[in-house]
Structure 1
Amino acid sequence: MPRIQGKPNVPGSAFRQIIALRPEIAKPWNALDEAMRFTGVLDAGLKEEVRRMVARHSGCLFCASFGAPQDSYDDPRWAAAVAFGKAVATDPTAVSEDDWQALQAHFSDEEIVELTAWIAFMFASEMIGAVMKLEPATPELKTMYTNWIRNGIEKAARAAS
């Protein structure tokens, strides 16, 4: 059971219900979440895969329950981004030169800024989940999340073309 009970009339997850206790924070937080996930120069699927890696290191059981990152990647951009996400989530002051050079080999400065901001935002969100002791997502919430991600990625792809 979470440490704080959120607003029960708010649809969605315990995270959304808890953050809804402060509507002036919840509204821009949720808007920023959606904007960062589904807009920008980086592929939304790549960002989701990085989020999965960050969730493995954030301590949020809820966030980690939405799926594990892949074991390996055929795409070197994805491999570099996920490795960078892991390095930052593990210790942002200890990102190795190898991780940084791998990132620079595949991403522009603009993309690196977006990726770093995404990782920081996701870690902050997941830190809230860890502090509040959110439980793993129910099957219903997993389905809702999967549909939200899929719809957001499809919308982003349509907007880009």
Structure 2
Amino acid sequence: MARIALPEGEGEEGQRMWSLRPTLGEAARAFGEALQDEARLPVRVREAARIRIAHINGCIPCSETRVEDGENLGLDEDFYAHVDDPARRGDYKPREALAIGFAERFAVGPSAFDDAFWADLNSHFSADELVELAAHCAKWLGLGRLNAVMDISVSCPIRIPAGQEN
């Protein structure tokens, strides 16, 4: 049940919330769409960071959302089940584990990033990949937190753009 009064009518709570401020809703939608359409990071790297942010935010719909055809991309339930456990980071490929660590630090703030972690990031990701990862984390943390705080029921459509099944 939403924590704010939403307009009556058709559509999910998230749609009705954004109808209160349509320009902001359109900007949020366009930001998310641009990230999906321009994604270059591998799906598993993005999903590792996304699900960690979803858990940090306490966003149940986001935590339960899975990539369409994810099983064929190696995104089984074990992948999702252990993302919060630092002792299991060795179960992930290096870039996936770093993406999880990036998401955690991003949620805490700039002081959580030290020089050693940046050196590790820069040895595994290009600068443009790090910009993309940070932009994804900004969207997931900010808009996911907005939904969680407002207790807005949403469906989180995860769409893998053509050619991004890497």
TM-score band, normalised by shorter chain: 0.7 to 0.9
Whole-Å separation in 1 of the counterparts to 2:53 and 2:135: 13
Q: Which residue in 1 is equivalent to 2:26? A: 27
* 8 Å CA contact retained: 2:98, 2:121: yes
Q: How many residues align?
A: 147
The Cα of 1:9 is off from its aligned counterpart by 4.0
1:5-43 Cα shifts (integer Å, max 9, x gaps): 43454534x233312321111112112112213423223
Unaligned stretches of 5+ in structure 1?
none
The Cα of 1:46 is off from its aligned counterpart by 2.6
**C-alpha distance 9-38 of structure 1, shift in aligned 2 (>3 A):** farther
* 8 Å CA contact retained: 2:48, 2:97: no
Q: Which residue in 2 is equivalent to 1:79? A: 97
**C-alpha distance 96-70 of structure 1, shift in aligned 2 (>3 A):** farther
The Cα of 1:65 is off from its aligned counterpart by 4.0
The percentage of counterpart residues that share the same residue type is: 28
1:82-141 Cα shifts (integer Å, max 9, x gaps): 111111113332223333222111100111111111111211102211321235x6xxx4
* 8 Å CA contact retained: 2:44, 2:96: no
- 1:7-22 matched pairs, under 5 angstroms: 7-9=7-9, 11-12=11-12, 14-22=13-21
What is the TM-score normalised by the length of structure 2? 0.71
Structure with greater helix share of residues: 1
* 8 Å CA contact retained: 1:10, 1:20: no
Q: Which residue in 2 is equivalent to 1:4? A: 4
| Amino acid corresponding to residue 6 of structure 1 in structure 2 | L
Whole-Å separation in 2 of the counterparts to 1:38 and 1:49: 19
| Amino acid corresponding to residue 16 of structure 1 in structure 2 | Q
Q: Which residue in 2 is equivalent to 1:90? A: 108
Whole-Å separation in 2 of the counterparts to 1:47 and 1:92: 20
